[in-house]
Amino acid sequence: MSRGWEHVTPTDIARLQQRAVVVPKKPTKYRNQVTIIGDKRFDSKKEAEQWLILQTRERAGEITGLKRQVPYALFVGVLAPDGTFTETHVQVGIWHADFDFFENGLHVVVDVKGGRATRTAVYQLKKKILAAQRGIVIREV
């Protein structure tokens, strides 16, 4: 059974390539520039720079246990028909911390922000849920 490609010539291919339209890459929503360092991909140059700073601090012994893109499950309580909270909690989402480490024995969670536009209402809500359920205050840089 013939699929039709047997009759395509190099001239046909060249003609089709000339008609091709190159679509410019769409800019990202927050104008961040994806950056790669080694085998690690970062959502912005600022996040990549922060990673290099934190790695340097870890090598100097200022911080320990440096991790990136640490997932935190977000839970909310369930209301009973009488309006009181039950013992049941429902997972409503996951938030990924850009960086997670220990500094002077304290757990530090860092989120790199590029400006006011990145502090969306959804982010603010996730930040409040994380603080309420785990007592974690996110350090924004």
Share above pLDDT 70 across residues of the chain, in percent, rounded to a whole number = 84
Q: Which domain holds residue 121?
A: 26-140
The reported pLDDT for the residue numbered 8 is 62
Residue 21 lies in a domain: no
Tens-place pLDDT, residues 49-84 = 999 999 999 999 999 999 999 999 999 888 889 988
Residue 6 confidence (pLDDT) above 70: no
Q: Which two tokens stand for residue 132?
A: 């309420």
pTM over 0.75: no
Confidence of residue 110 (pLDDT cuts 50, 70, 90): very high
Residue 92 lies in a domain: yes
Residue 79 lies in a domain: yes
Report the greatest alpha carbon distance in the chain: 76
Q: What are the phi and psi torsion angles at 109 (to 5°)?
A: -120, 125
Residue 101 lies in a domain: yes
Residue 67 lies in a domain: yes
Tens-place pLDDT, residues 32-41 = 788 888 888 8
Structural domain tally of the chain?
1
Under DSSP, is residue 140 helix (H, G, I), strand (E, B) or coil? strand
Residue 5 lies in a domain: no
Q: Which two tokens stand for residue 40?
A: 């690690």
